[in-house]
Amino acid sequence: WTEDICEGALILRHFSVLHEITLLDGIRQIMIKHPFRQLLTPNGHRMSVAMTCCGEVGWVSDSKGYRYSTYDPDNGKPWPYMPDNFFSIAVQAAEEAGFPDFKPDSCLINQYQVGSRLSLHQDKDEKNLGAPIVSFSLGIPATFLFGGMQRTDPVQRYHLAHGDVVVWGGPARLRYHGVAPIKEAAHPLLGTQRINLTFRQAK
Ligand code: MD3
Ligand code: FE
């Protein structure tokens, strides 16, 4: 049930199906005090993806740029503690993928509605680029776009469904990637949305 993407990156198909209730319950708790919000990019566009975070730092964006912040700019409060069970599930996935020392301190939670997309970008604001990023897909499926080291490099497409976990480390860590516009669909637990969690060692 594991699928290699390239050196450093692999898909653990259905890995988090077993943990869906834990993950959804944790997300629900986080959303109560730190609701999903569509951030403004530095050039003034509102993202179609809505975000919230937990952990010591969260990823934020505004007219000043992109950065990790210890507090939620919407309400000035620190981000909620990363639930212990979130931490363990992410560590377990990283171990299975061959990264035994993963200790995430941040989890970015992305919410996609039908039509939401994420344009090609690199994740390079984390302090420890030697650590992988571990991503969990929940809800309706997405076409994940995996490019190269240059924005204009050709992209490979991967179908990511509810329960799929992808671990991105080693030489894959700085590759361009994005998400194609989400197609209309419904999931029995999540309805017409997709939620993606990305665990990071950001500090
Ligand atoms: C490949 N999220 O939050 S997860 C992001 O589905 C992000 O919400 C997408 O890209 C989503 O930054 C994709 C998969 C992912 C995450 C980080 C990566 C793939 C990656 C970092 C390097 C290479
Ligand atoms: Fe990313």
- The helix/strand/coil state of 55 is strand
**List of the chain residues with pLDDT < 50:** none
> Which listed ligand is nearest to 131 at the C-alpha?
1
pLDDT of residue 145: 98
In the chain, % of residues over pLDDT 70: 100
Counting ligand 1 atoms within 8 A of each CB, the residue from 120, 123, 136, 194 with the most, and so the one to mutate, is 123
Query: Which atom in ligand 1 lies closest to the alpha carbon of residue 178?
Result: 10
Task: Strands of 56-155 (E only): list them.
Answer: 58-62, 65-69, 106-113, 118-121, 133-139, 142-146
Which protein residue's CA is at the shortest distance from atom 13 of ligand 1? 178
Q: Which residues of 81-117 are buried (b: 16+ CB within 10 A; e: fewer)?
A: ebbeebbebbbbbbeebebeebebbbbbbbbbeeebb
Q: Which CATH number fits domain 2-200: 3.40.50.1980, 1.10.260.40, 2.40.10.340, 2.60.120.590?
A: 2.60.120.590
**CA distance to 24, 30, 37, 81, 123, per residue, from 72 (Å):** 21, 12, 11, 12, 20
pLDDT of residue 45: 95
Query: Which atom in ligand 1 lies closest to the alpha carbon of residue 121?
Result: 10
Give the pLDDT confidence of 12-29 residue by residue, as tens digits. Answer: 999 999 999 999 999 999
Query: Which atom in ligand 1 lies closest to the alpha carbon of residue 175?
Result: 23
- Residue the block writes with tokens 């991503």: 135
- Residue the block writes with tokens 């560590």: 91
pLDDT of residue 51: 98
Q: At what angle do helices 84-96 and 20-33 cross, to 10 degrees?
A: 130
ipTM strictly over 0.85?
A: yes
